[in-house]
Chain A
Amino acid sequence: MSLGFQNLETKRRTLGEGTANYSRAKGLGVASAFSCCYSNFFEVTFGISVVSWYSTAALVRFLWDLTAERMHYKKAPITEALIDIRVELSSELRFEDLSAFRKHVSTDYPREETRNLSQAMLLFGPSVQASAQQQPWGFMFRNETNTQVVQVRLDGFTFSRLEPYEDFEHLRDEARRLWDIYRELVRPKKVVRIAVRYINQLNLPGTRVEPEDYLKTFPHLSGDLPKDLRDFGPFLMNLRVPQPDLKGLLIINEAGTPPKKPETVSIILDLDLSVESPAIESEEEMWAFFQKLRERKNLYFEACITDKTRELIS
């Protein structure tokens, strides 16, 4: 078993280096096709049961390596990227205790809102109105330019980077800085869920687009229908995709949304990857785990879009 893994790793490095430039030039399709052949070779050689676990992890890593250098798009369509950490707090902690967070962040995040428990529920009510049953459950602080938002709540912590997105390193480093303040303040009993989420808004040229030109994951209406009855307008797709090796869940939300510019069709591609009760022993492990989540998210993003989309955002 270990021999198979070492060989796989050695071959991955060798072949990865050898094909990196070609795959960058030709796109993920080449990498996918190549990895299939590669996987088949090992399945034949060592048997599926021997290498299946390793090959899943290694292939993900392999695909990631091949695509890593092309991940930073000049016109990245990310409208919000967030790191979310849900915690279990002491039952003695009160909403008011969270206000101490303010003094640590007020310079960088001077704008403050109170988030109410009913605020989300309010969304499902008959109208946008104040609710008599509002119960404060956290604070939202944002910077002067409305590009960074941190939420501290009785159920956890969220850091969001809005447009324009920089890169994961900025997102992670600022989230970690703010998380350290939150953690010191509330002393969570444990981390019960961690997540990375990237919400992309793709603005596709034209008022009518063929989804398969830009997307590889989208709602598909049966080809048995007459052609002129297969067109559709706004939609909302919600897919739950288990991630067995991470013991996590990826939720893909894809939706039509009002376009930002005229003569475009706008589509949201929202990738929300979470792990409940993550097996982490330390802060270092948790932040290393976020890196894994980010890599997996990137893998799905690349797999969801076509080269035509890549051209749009490059």
Chain B
Amino acid sequence: MIIAEAIADRKTRFRSPIESNAVGAASQELKTEAAKDLENAVSVSVFWTATVLLAKAQSRLSELAQIGSNWDTYGAPAPNQAALETAVRVLEHMNPFDLMLANIVPSAEGGVGFCFSRGDRYADIESSNDGDIIGVRYIGMQTPVLIETDGTDASIEAALQQVRNHIRA
């Protein structure tokens, strides 16, 4: 008997019984119990909260891979493969505390956005369909400040650090 990383499927890695499609009484009971257990398990642990949030974020990116163009009824393009792959890279640079604040959305200009807000502070990092990673930050009605990257890991990390400093200032 072997445990093999190669058998891993990222989409189902942390899939729990509560996400199954079964509808019988036993399944409902299992879902309730599993949800309670999981909630209790993750509620106080930083590690598990981050792990589940990361899995959810990956799942969210998978969902965004399925949306079609004109998803907003205003003609917005769907995120393409380049945007999704870059978004995965951005995700890999996020720490547990970033994940707690991140809201992952499709971009109206085509791409994937990681949005962060706290009070009147806002920042986002967008992975666009043309392969760029660019962000913006602002406070209330103030003039937005551009967050630029050159696509390297170091610049993604620096961009996220700007976001952290801005949101948590």
Contact = CB atoms under 8 A, between A and B. Distances in A.
Interface of A: 79-80, 82, 84, 111-113, 119-121, 123-124, 126-130, 142, 146, 149, 151, 158, 160, 162, 197, 199, 207-212, 220-221, 230-236, 238, 251, 253, 255-259, 264-267, 270, 272
B42 A220 contact: no
The main secondary structure of chain B at its interface with chain A is helix
A119 B102 CA distance: 12
Contacts of B104: 127-128
A128 B42 contact: no
Interface stretch (B21-29, B51-59, B123-131): B51-59
Nearest to B13: A234
A234 B43 CA distance: 22
A151 B103 contact: no
B3 A119 contact: no
A149 B96 CA distance: 12
Contact of A128 (B14, B39, B51, B57): B57
A264 B5 CA distance: 8
A267 B3 contact: yes
Nearest to B37: A238
Contacts of B100: 113, 119
A258 B58 CA distance: 12
B4 A208 contact: yes
A15 B168 CA distance: 58
A295 B49 CA distance: 26
B121 to A, nearest CB: 14
Interface string B31-75: 000010111011111111101110011011001000000000000
Interface of B: 1-10, 12-14, 16, 18, 35, 37-39, 41-49, 51-53, 56-57, 59-60, 63, 95, 97, 99-104, 168
Given A149-B46, A210-B3, A234-B8, 6 more contacts: A127-B56, A199-B48, A210-B1, A232-B7, A234-B13, A255-B14
Nearest to B56: A128
Contacts of B99: 128
A160 B103 contact: no
B44 A158 contact: yes
B3 A80 contact: no
Contacts of A127: 56, 59-60, 63, 104
B54 to A, nearest CB: 8
A123 B52 contact: yes
Nearest to A238: B37
20 contacts: A113-B100, A123-B39, A124-B18, A127-B56, A128-B60, A128-B103, A130-B103, A208-B2, A209-B2, A209-B4, A231-B3, A233-B3, A234-B7, A234-B12, A236-B16, A238-B37, A255-B14, A257-B13, A265-B5, A270-B48
